[in-house]
């Protein structure tokens, strides 16, 4: 028995939805290459005439968000990442899909933000403009779940410009909205960066935020996001002088990053491990760890990581 066009469209809708859900599950588990393969498989269906424009847009938005994370983690596929976000915007505008337009603007802001982070560019104003446009639309839609995320990213642009007071205001707003809308990922991101800001102000408050961010990621099964959260906790313990605890969290992060083959987190794990060795008076070990981090950062060609490592090596020279 042959399927009608409507029945075929329904099956494609089911297939695309299942594909993106499984791919995102892989991403959460840290299997980012498997997630990439699934999204690529889904993309091949999008040109088929039986796929509705609504289903195509929904898939593009999810695919685009994943590719942003993939680019951040690997420094690869930038062109594809940007193309997906722009395709989503064009389709959303053609359909006059207001939620879709808002999310596409949010995605474009992220592509610009991470491009700057990876390449070392320092002007985040264009990215901020897209986040602000997305926030305006989310407010009009009364979509507090996604508004929390666009406000968080707006805060990131202020932090990159070293405007910490403004960044903190946005993170606090994002945190409140995320908690009220049960957006655990958004709350985890906001608390993570509040921990960073408070590290130079109040170490107890910083530790509380860092531990909360880690706990939220554990609650939602976000394995991919555990290494940076663990490294942040380790960082705070280093500042507190609790080097045993710092080393424990650092080693946990390093092991998980190795299991998931997340090379960028292995860079930062070596940096934190080097900081611990430095505090312990083990200058040779600290230098070896920083140099290993520098080598990997150069291989990945991530400007932000290279700058962090160079700062550590310069610290050793002046010590």
Q: Is residue 251 part of a domain?
A: yes
The total domain count for the chain is 3
With 80 as the cut, is the pLDDT of residue 272 above it? yes
User: Which of residues 72, 94, 112 is at a domain's end?
Assistant: 112
Cα–Cα distances in angstroms (integers) from residue 41 to residues 71, 74, 79, 165, in the given order = 18, 20, 18, 44
Confidence class for position 1, pLDDT limits 50, 70, 90: low
Confidence class for position 178, pLDDT limits 50, 70, 90: very high
User: Would you state the pLDDT for residue 318?
Assistant: 83
- What is the domain-level CATH number for residue 145? 1.25.40.10
With 80 as the cut, is the pLDDT of residue 132 above it? yes
As a whole-number percent, the residues of the chain with pLDDT over 70 amount to: 99
Report the chain's terminal Cα–Cα distance, integer Å: 78
Q: What is the pTM of this model?
A: 0.95
Instruction: Note whether 233 and 140 are same-domain residues.
Output: no
Cα–Cα distances in angstroms (integers) from residue 259 to residues 29, 108, 225, 255, 262, in the given order = 11, 31, 13, 6, 8
Instruction: Note whether 294 and 262 are same-domain residues.
Output: yes
User: Would you state the pLDDT for residue 2?
Assistant: 84
E strand or H helix that includes residue 35: helix 32-43
Average pLDDT, the chain: 96
With 90 as the cut, is the pLDDT of residue 317 above it? no
- What is the domain-level CATH number for residue 108? 1.25.40
């Amino acid at each position: 028995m042959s399927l009608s066009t409507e029945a075929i469209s329904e099956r494609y809708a089911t297939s695309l939805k299942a594909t993106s859900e499984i791919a995102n599950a892989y991403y959460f588990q840290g299997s980012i290459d498997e997630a990439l393969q699934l999204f690529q498989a889904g993309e091949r269906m999008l040109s088929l005439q039986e796929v509705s424009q609504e289903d195509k847009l929904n898939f593009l938005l999810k695919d685009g968000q994943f590719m942003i994370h993939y680019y951040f983690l690997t420094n690869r596929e930038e062109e594809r990442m940007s193309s997906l976000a722009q395709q989503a915007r064009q389709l959303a505008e053609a359909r006059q899909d207001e939620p879709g337009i808002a999310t596409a603007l949010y995605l474009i802001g992220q592509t610009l933000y991470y491009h700057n982070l990876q390449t070392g560019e320092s002007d985040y104003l264009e990215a901020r403009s897209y986040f602000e446009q997305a926030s305006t639309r989310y407010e009009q839609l009364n979509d507090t779940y996604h508004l929390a995320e666009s406000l968080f990213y707006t805060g990131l642009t202020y932090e990159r410009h070293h405007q910490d007071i403004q960044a903190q205001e946005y993170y606090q707003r994002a945190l409140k909205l995320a908690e009220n809308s049960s957006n655990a990922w958004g709350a985890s991101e906001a608390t993570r960066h509040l921990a960073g800001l408070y590290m130079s102000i109040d170490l107890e408050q910083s530790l509380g935020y860092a531990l909360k961010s880690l706990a939220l990621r554990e609650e939602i099964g976000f394995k991919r996001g555990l290494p940076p959260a663990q490294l942040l906790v380790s960082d705070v313990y280093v500042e507190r002088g609790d080097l045993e605890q710092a080393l424990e969290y650092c080693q946990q992060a390093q092991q998980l990053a190795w299991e998931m083959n997340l090379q960028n987190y292995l860079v930062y794990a070596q940096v934190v491990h080097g900081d611990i060795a430095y505090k312990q008076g083990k200058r040779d070990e600290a230098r070896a760890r920083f140099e290993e981090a520098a080598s990997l950062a150069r291989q990945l060609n991530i400007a932000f990581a290279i700058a962090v490592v160079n700062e550590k090596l310069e610290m050793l020279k002046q010590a």
